[in-house]
Structure formats: C-alpha cells, structure tokens
Amino acid sequence: MLRVDLTATAGGSTRVRAAWEQAPGTVTALFGPSGAGKTTLIRAVTGLVETVGTVRWQDREIGRLKPWERPVGYVAQDPSLFPHWTVRRQIAEARPSRRFDAVARDWVARLGLGDLLDRRPAALSGGQAQRAALARALAREPEILLLDEPFSGLDPLWRRRAGDLVAAWAAAGRRVVLLSSHVWEEVERLADQVLILDAGTLLAQGRPQDLFRRPPGAAVARLLGYTARLGRYALHPRRAEWTHPDRCPVRVTGTVRRRRPAGDGWLVELETADGTVVEAYAADDAPAEGAPARVGFWAPEVDDDDDDRGSNSGAPPAARAQRGGTGPGGGDFPPGAVRD
C-alpha cells in the first residue's frame, strides 16, 4: 500500500496539500489545469522538492530517503535524456545490472524502439524521446512509477498503447502508478482513482466515473467540462439526450444557432428564447442550423462552491450565461429549460 500525506512546496511559491492511499496494482491520476500542483505533487513523492509529511510504501517510510534511494521510476514532462548517450545506453544504464539485457530488450520491443537504439536524443522526435524515457524508467524495475504528462508528445495510437501498457504493468506486478494528465478521457480509461487539483488544493478524489457522473461541487464540474448551470443542475455537452429528451431531468428547447464537427459527431449550439446558448453533443445526424430542436440532459445536481454562493463571478462566461429566470419547481432556469 502507498500512503501519502504531505504538503509540498516548489520554488518557494507553489504549495500543494494532499493525502491519499493507493493499493498495489492500481493507477492513481492527478487531474487539473496548468498550475494546479500536479507536477509538484509528483516531484514530492520522487523526493525532488521540499515536503512536510509522510510517504509510506509497504509500511516503510520512504519520504526520508534520498531520491535515488527510493524505489521509484520517474518520467518528467521533458524526457531529460542524456544528450551524448544512445537510446540503447539510456536504457541499459537504468538496469540494476547496467547491461542491455533481456528486460531492457523487452521494453524496447514493447515501446517500438528497436530501430532507434543507436540514435542519440537529437535524432529523435518528441514522441520517440518520450517512449525512450518511459522504457528507461520501466527498465529500472521500480515499485512506484511516477509519470508527469508522459504521453503528451505521442500520437493517438502510441498514446493509447503506452497508457494501456503502463496500467497492465502495474496490475501484473502489484506495483503502483501515479499519473498526471490534462486529458479526462485518459484518466477515465486508465485510473482506478483520481485526485482533482486546482491552485494547490485537493478539490475531490474518488473513482473517475463517479466524480464525472456526480461532481461534488461547481468548481469540480467546471474542470470536468460541464459548461452550463441551470439552477442546481450542471450540463455537460456529452451528456445530452436527443432521442428521448423527456426521460432527462433537464430539457432545453430552442433554435440551432451553430453546429460544428466534434470527433465522430457534432457539437450543437442551441439558443433558447431569451438568447441563452447551451452546447450539446450529437453522435449522429445533428439538426440543421436554424432548425428548432429539443434536447435533454442527464444533468446532476451540483452545489455551489463557497466562493460562488450569491455571486456568479467564479463561473466562466459560458456558465454565467445560463443563470436566468425561474423555472418550474424553483431554481434558476432560462426560458425554454424545464425539469421534472
């Protein structure tokens, strides 16, 4: 079991406070905007920044050990490869034997580095360098793998493949992975639990699917992509229901102002009678621009955060625009939006 309870400070200004437990064989993700404290928290577990608190692994306090004494592998946002070493030597030097042995060759094969072994970092693309850094970290045979945006330079195919490889590695060997990411879909796919951070504060933690379905507050909802508030309800474009809107707790009627391609579907902007604009994703054929439309939302009820109560200043413009007149049954709703 990994047990972390610490306050970390980086550069004399960035301060992060967090505590969590993580069972062997699992992935914990850190999610939040730039400056949230994700990198600081990962570097704290690595031992590279000043901390107050404890980092315990399998009932052993490792927070007092030097970084090189900790049973960790670390991949930073910058691959940080040695510029004068080939890929082969980068990986070999990470092995306990300091040889390019069968384990090193296995990671080379899994991460598609076989044709790159004799290249130095200057001859690698950004994605190739990230894969080499990941192979180097895994070749060390760590018990704790710390990954700071490790897939950001990879193409979509390798990004998914590398993420799946890391998750399977953790599960098979009863190791743990701490992963920071800006991509919520990646967090949902890979992580057993997620810590949602903003400005050095831990806002929420739990299973990604649970937090997405029922955000514990307005700040978390905004970070998870909920773009509108209708009274107590938070609306996410991808939780729209076009076929059976009456089954949903919130329905919006209006005119399609604009639609644009989004992934394998459409993002539709629906304008209500009072000029309020709501976004909704349509997986299939979207209504044409200028056409009337009605859409439902599987919308959770979300409490205002303390700094939002009595004020809309904490919400982004898209969210503030949704707070309008009074709808049936109480709560703030613009005309055209109703709830059961």
What does the pLDDT look like over 149-198, one tens digit per residue? 999 889 999 999 999 999 999 999 889 999 999 899 999 999 999 999 99
Check whether 201 has a pLDDT greater than 70: yes
Check whether 254 has a pLDDT greater than 80: yes
Check whether 19 has a pLDDT greater than 60: yes
| Separation between Cα atoms, residue 6 and residue 24, nearest integer Å | 20
> What crossing angle do the helices spanning 126-139 and 102-110 adopt, rounded to 10°?
150
- Reported confidence tier of residue 306, pLDDT bands at 50, 70, 90: low
Q: What is the pLDDT of residue 276?
A: 86
| 25 neighbors 192 (Cβ within 8 angstroms) | no
- Reported confidence tier of residue 229, pLDDT bands at 50, 70, 90: confident
- Reported confidence tier of residue 275, pLDDT bands at 50, 70, 90: confident
Q: Which two tokens stand for residue 138?
A: 């895994």
Q: Which fold has domain 2-210?
A: Rossmann fold (3.40.50)
Q: What average pLDDT does this structure show over 69-86?
A: 94
Percent of the chain with pLDDT over 90: 74
**All CATH 2.40.50.140 domain ranges in the chain, comma separated:** 226-339
Q: What average pLDDT does this structure show over 277-306?
A: 90
226-339 maps to which CATH number?
2.40.50.140
Q: What is the pLDDT of residue 248?
A: 95
- Reported confidence tier of residue 241, pLDDT bands at 50, 70, 90: very high
**All CATH 3.40.50.300 domain ranges in the chain, comma separated:** 2-210
Nearest CA to 90 out of 72, 107, 67, 77 is that of 107
